[in-house]
Chains A and B, each alone.
Chain A
Amino acid sequence: KAGVTQTPRYLIKTRGQQVTLSCSPISGHRSVSWYQQTPGQGLQFLFEYFSETQRNKGNFPGRFSGRQFSNSRSEMNVSTLELGDSALYLCASSLGQGFRGVNTEAFFGQGTRLTVV
């Protein structure tokens, strides 16, 4: 069974640009979550999508957005990049079943390392 695939693995962008990151979940998983990892702030939750709907959102500015397609693949977009957006962006997929969306096991991709210069 293929794992969670994130593309690209590495990105270098200039301040003010926008970027789109992609995540393909494990087959059959309907929940995709995104996290930002930085040395200073650690791992922070960005948002979660389940069946093409955003089900949960973290405390990030509106420059951070995402979406999920009918095949459960997800993209996140960051507009007007700032130096502080440099981070490892991790995607996690899970079954996400039930009205509570209980995450009993989330599988992570290898991440996309974004550097803003």
Chain B
Amino acid sequence: AQSVTQLGSHVSVSEGALVLLRCNYSSSVPPYLFWYVQYPNQGLQLLLKYTSAATLVKGINGFEAEFKKSETSFHLTKPSAHMSDAAEYFCAVSLMIYNQGGKLIFGQGTELSVKP
């Protein structure tokens, strides 16, 4: 069965510091991988996606993620945190199987705090 694990439910960084949010997946078939961000009382916004092209994926707001098949990981990074990055971040997987592509499986989320 496929699953997503996000290491650390809360991460705190200082403004200007590196942001690293960890995501590991388990899948028996090649996955599509996504990172979403959620601000309070809002829906989810797509940050970036991996769809079997380049393994290093650049997204919006300066975020990027690297797909590492050998480590089954898809960690999210940003070189320099801004106060506006404080939010909850979700890693998700969907599968290249017949009729399963429309289903997203989410990790438990990581709440990012940014200290001034």
Which residues of A pack against B, CB within 8 Å? 4, 6, 31, 33, 35, 42-45, 48, 50, 55-56, 58, 90, 92, 94, 96, 98-111, 113
CB closest residue in chain A, given B109: A42
User: B49: CB under 8 A from chain A?
Assistant: yes
Partner of A103, one of B36, B42, B90, B103: B103
On whether A105 and B46 interact (CB within 8 A), knowing A55-B99, A56-B100, the answer reads yes
Some 18 contacts from A to B, beta carbons below 8 A apart, are A6-B43, A31-B102, A33-B102, A33-B103, A56-B102, A58-B103, A90-B43, A99-B99, A100-B97, A100-B98, A102-B32, A102-B94, A103-B94, A103-B101, A104-B49, A105-B46, A107-B46, A110-B43
Partner of A100, one of B34, B45, B90, B96: B96
Question: Which 3 residue pairs of A and B lie closest in terms of their CB atoms, listed nearest first?
Answer: A102-B101, A108-B43, A43-B106
Contact of B98 with A103 in the complex, beta carbons under 8 Å: no
CB closest residue in chain B, given A50: B102
User: B51: CB under 8 A from chain A?
Assistant: yes
Summarize B's interface: helix, strand, loop or mixed. Answer: loop
On whether A108 and B49 interact (CB within 8 A), knowing A101-B102, A102-B94, the answer reads no
Contact of A4 with B106 in the complex, beta carbons under 8 Å: no
Known: A99-B98, A100-B99, A103-B103. 13 other contacts (CB 8 A): A35-B104, A56-B103, A90-B44, A92-B44, A92-B104, A100-B97, A100-B100, A100-B101, A102-B96, A103-B101, A105-B49, A110-B41, A111-B43
Chain B residues closer than 8 Å to A55, beta-carbon distance: 99, 102
Chain B residues closer than 8 Å to A108, beta-carbon distance: 36, 43-45
Inter-chain CA distance A110–B41, complex, in Å, is 7
Inter-chain CA distance A50–B83, complex, in Å, is 39
Residue from B44, B49, B101 having most chain A Cβ neighbours under 10 A: B101
